[in-house]
Amino acid sequence: MNIIIRPYKERDRSTVRRISYETSDRGEQNRPIFSDRDVLADVLTRYYTDFEPQSLCVAEYAGSVIGYLSGCMDPTRYKMMVVLRVIPAAIFRAIINGAFWRRETWSLFGAFRRTWFKGGFSRNVSDEEYPVHLHINILGDFRGQQIGKKLMEHFLQQARSAGVHGVHARVRENNVQAICFFERVGFREVGAQTFFLPNGVGFRVRKTLIFGLRL
Ligand SMILES: CC(C)(COP(=O)(O)OP(=O)(O)OC[C@H]1O[C@@H](n2cnc3c(N)ncnc32)[C@H](O)[C@@H]1OP(=O)(O)O)[C@@H](O)C(=O)NCCC(=O)NCCS
């Protein structure tokens, strides 16, 4: 397969957004955690496409983007932009789209609030040791063909050149494929986080494992 790994370009934006919601929640189903695709894509990708595109790389096959790796080299700027720009814009879009008034939105808010109170959004990974974070997403039909590995090599090379000494990624504890992937490319488990998702009128508890790599 002739796969090209290259830096992100503005024309890739809509495809990257589509891949993000198609591969969300482990990517095993076409049933994302939130039904408004635009709002979900805003939350998952907007920081990377709009505020740090230079740390985003894509995999292209036959002229189409089939996967991407989005990174953040500056955690302080990330927090600021997410709080001041990404989340407010996503809420605004949810209001415009009518999603804000749906029950699933308020259930999700409830789950976030519970996660917050239980300390689930605390860092749980050392900023000094692993300052950079990344997400990697490949369309289902293209997995298991070394594309993830190539994207990771590209990104790690870029991170090393920028003088970065540690990166990390978050993976759901039941995402066996991704866990095997991160271990195979040299990461090791360095932390864990508990979070909540809506489940009818209650919540289900989920765990995220944090994988880190020192460069
Ligand atoms: C995780 C993911 C990025 C891996 O990408 P990929 O292109 O399928 O992985 P690769 O083909 O490059 O595999 C690299 C190594 O990972 C391991 N691996 C990949 N898929 C695996 C699987 N299903 N089972 C076991 N090991 C696996 C293998 O050891 C493989 O190396 P090898 O083929 O030399 O043995 C991809 O599955 C994906 O996009 N998943 C959905 C989104 C997601 O969960 N992202 C991670 C959270 S940020």
Nearest to 182 by CA among 158, 149, 215: 149
Question: Ligand 1: which residue has its CA nearest to atom 23?
Answer: 177
Compute, in angstroms, the gap from residue 1 CA to the centroid of ligand 1: 16
- What residues line ligand 1, using a CB cutoff of 6 Å? 23, 26-27, 135-138, 143-149, 169, 171, 175, 177-178, 180-181, 184
Q: What is the CATH number of domain 3-214?
A: 3.40.630.30
Q: Is the pTM of this model over 0.95?
A: no
- Tokens representing 185? 């490319």
Q: Which tens digit of pLDDT belongs to each residue from 110-153?
A: 888 888 888 777 767 877 899 999 999 999 999 999 999 999 99
Q: Amino acid letter at 209?
A: L
**Domain limits, the chain:** 3-214
